[in-house]
Amino acid sequence: MKKQLILTLTMILTIAILATGCRAAGAPPSDADPGQTSDGQPPNVQEDSTRPDAVADLIENEYDGIDISVEVLERMAILPGMSFQATVLIENNGDKTVSYVQGSGSFDIPEAVFLHSDTLQTVLPEDRFGAMTDDFVTQLLEPGDSLLFRLNVMAIEPDPEFNAYSQDVFASDGEYIGNMEWAALQERFPGLTAVQPGSYILNAYFLYRIHDENDQFAAFSGPTGFAEAQTLIGIS
């Protein structure tokens, strides 16, 4: 009986030592997901840490009837330096009308809709170059209505001179910088740098004001609220 007890205790001790050794060797817990980091994000995601100045004094989701989404519908892989388009959908699913700034009446994409990223270079819409009307237009988004726009982005690091480069390209060649190949763009502006392969966050914004039909000039005072959406962009 005593011999059997000693044998049992020895087996228990051996199992305990083996289990401790496995933990010390760094074996992950059974519920660990090797495809995610500790905060649940995919690996190598380049996080955004700032919001654009345009929304600094506005109320996020002031009107909860506005839904906004942003997607990249590229069928081919997005490579470092490549230009691509993001599709922004804005829907008024509530019961209120909102107004937003179109800007010049010749703009196809309103000033109230734009992209922002700390890690990718957003591109001014093509309608911001060349001749444009000097009027100031506001528009209404009624309940049940929606807006759809496609805006350009480039898989290069943000550069404070990029808008100036864009103007220079259009003024000298009549070309939209968002249509340029990376090799030609890099040759012309060697200070630009393509991003590294990885995952990048892109944000879309819509600025608006809840419409007051009794105040015809309220919209000219500018937006009071904003809606935001984001998507994850994979660069191969």
Which tens digit of pLDDT belongs to each residue from 166-198?
999 999 999 999 999 999 999 999 999 999 999
pLDDT at 33: 32
The rounded distance, in Å, linking the Cα atoms of 158 and 227 is 23
3-class secondary-structure state, position 20 = helix
Instruction: Check residue 130 and give left, alpha or beta (phi > 0: left; psi -120 to 50: alpha).
Output: left
The rounded distance, in Å, linking the Cα atoms of 58 and 98 is 14
pTM above 0.85, yes or no: no
Confidence band of 9 (pLDDT split at 50, 70, 90): very low
Confidence band of 48 (pLDDT split at 50, 70, 90): low
Contact 134, 105 (CB under 8 A): no
Q: Which two tokens stand for residue 108?
A: 């196809």
Task: Taking residues 195-202, report their average pLDDT.
Answer: 97
Mean pLDDT (the chain, rounded): 84
- Report the DSSP pairing between strands 83-92 and 198-210: unpaired
CATH architecture of 54-212+219-235: Sandwich (2.60)
